[in-house]
């Protein structure tokens, strides 16, 4: 039997987190919740989670998702976990989810595969599997860490996530490093994890909705400050893994560049958003890692997306604000 633990990173969790926690705790041996300095207003929710049996660790300062997950891994391994699942605070899993990803790992290992990471076949509307081997094993690529299973032995061999990335592309860098170390990343057949990948907006061109064959009519924009991390970490990531995964790096970079251009078209004020992108480029070229400067974060908070927000299948008024994220 495997000692399966779960770790959950939180930042300003609301009471809905209690339901997410319950769905996870029911399927694993122990849960570690690492809170990334949410503040005093969130003590009640975290206390309620502790009362439910979780190990709750509160970071003294906002350190980013990678640092929070790494602290969770450390606690889980020290507690005797042999396999560890990681989740975001809004991840809610269906009954049988843990059993399915655990079985996928056993299935692949029994067939001689050296497995580093296991993810659900479907994350939100994204299929993470990209190929099927003759023995039925699904290979995964461009994985997302929420719902991901890793063995403690792999963490010991490869190391944990890069905390200096802070947020964005943390899971991608980890995936590429695991694969470069000779492990496979696989998907559990049929397993799914529902998730909201940011807010969706109508794709615009010259102030009008853009609809072309093969091109989705909507696009997903993150909170503006995250584009600093996305640009910086993309540059650093490419330097690290261009040789080990050239095809994936090229494809992902082209997709990112197109997305940055799309965001720049609808950003208001554009000059401020351009300054955020430039700061990310400069930081990436100079390898200045860690948290973004507070002064830049303040400027990024003034940016909004001048595009119609799509919600529940319909188009709402143009969004003028952005919510805070950790």
What are the 10-residue block averages of pLDDT along the chain, 326 residues in total? 93 95 98 97 96 97 97 98 97 96 97 98 92 96 96 98 96 97 97 77 59 60 95 97 95 93 92 98 97 97 87 44 36
Radius of gyration of the chain (CA): 20
CB 230 within 8 A of CB 289: no
Number of other residues whose CB lies within 10 A of the CB of residue 42: 18
Provide the pLDDT for residue 195: 74
Number of other residues whose CB lies within 10 A of the CB of residue 301: 15
313: phi > 0 → left, psi -120 to 50 → alpha, else beta; which?
Answer: left
3-state helix, strand, coil in the chain (%, to 5): 40, 25, 35
CB 319 within 8 A of CB 309: yes
CB 143 within 8 A of CB 210: no
Sign of CA dihedral 170, 173, 178, 179: positive
Instruction: Give 35's strand partners.
Output: 10, 58
Provide the pLDDT for residue 315: 41
Provide the pLDDT for residue 217: 58
Provide the pLDDT for residue 52: 97
Provide the pLDDT for residue 173: 97
Number of other residues whose CB lies within 10 A of the CB of residue 159: 13
Provide the pLDDT for residue 308: 76
Number of other residues whose CB lies within 10 A of the CB of residue 136: 11
Number of other residues whose CB lies within 10 A of the CB of residue 40: 6
The domain defined by 4-193 folds into Spore Coat Polysaccharide Biosynthesis Protein SpsA; Chain A (3.90.550)
Please name which of 171, 170, 147, 196 lies closest in space to residue 16, comparing C-alpha atoms. 196
In degrees rounded to 5, what are phi and psi of residue 254? -60, -40
Q: Mark out the alpha helices in the chain (DSSP H runs).
A: 16-25, 43-51, 65-78, 97-110, 152-158, 170-180, 226-241, 246-266, 270-286, 294-300
Could you tell me the residue ranges of all domains in the chain?
A: 4-193, 199-318
Q: What is the Cα 191 distance to its own chain's centre?
A: 17
Structure tokens at 298: 């303040």
Provide the pLDDT for residue 262: 87
């Amino acid at each position: 039997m495997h000692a399966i633990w779960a770790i959950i990173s939180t930042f300003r969790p609301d009471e809905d987190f209690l339901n997410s926690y319950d769905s996870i705790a029911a399927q694993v041996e122990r849960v570690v919740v690492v809170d990334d300095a949410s503040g005093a207003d969130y003590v009640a929710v975290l206390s309620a989670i502790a009362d439910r049996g979780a190990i709750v660790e509160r970071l003294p300062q906002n350190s980013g998702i990678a640092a929070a997950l790494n602290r969770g891994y450390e606690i889980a391994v020290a507690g005797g976990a042999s396999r560890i699942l990681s989740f975001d605070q809004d991840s809610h899993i269906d009954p049988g989810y843990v059993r399915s990803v655990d079985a996928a790992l056993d299935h692949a290992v029994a067939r001689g595969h050296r497995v580093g990471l296991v993810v659900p076949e479907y994350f939100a509307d994204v299929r993470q599997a990209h190929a099927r081997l003759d023995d039925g094993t699904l290979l995964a690529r461009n994985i997302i860490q929420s719902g991901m299973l890793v063995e403690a032995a792999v963490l010991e061999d490869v190391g944990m996530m890069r905390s200096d990335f802070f947020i964005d592309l943390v899971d991608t860098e980890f995936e590429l490093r695991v694969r470069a170390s000779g492990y496979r990343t696989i998907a559990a057949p049929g397993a799914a994890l529902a998730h909201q990948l940011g807010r969706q907006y109508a794709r615009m061109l010259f102030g009008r909705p853009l609809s072309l064959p093969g091109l989705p009519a909507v696009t997903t924009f993150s909170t503006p400050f995250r584009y600093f991390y996305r640009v910086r970490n993309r540059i650093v990531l490419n330097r690290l893994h261009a040789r080990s995964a050239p095809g994936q790096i090229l494809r992902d970079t082209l997709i990112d560049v197109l997305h940055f251009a799309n965001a720049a078209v609808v950003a208001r004020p554009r000059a401020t958003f351009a300054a955020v992108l430039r700061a990310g480029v400069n930081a990436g070229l100079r390898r200045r890692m860690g948290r973004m400067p507070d002064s830049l974060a303040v400027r990024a908070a003034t940016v909004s997306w001048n595009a119609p927000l799509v919600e529940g299948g319909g188009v709402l008024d143009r969004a003028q604000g952005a919510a805070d994220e950790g």
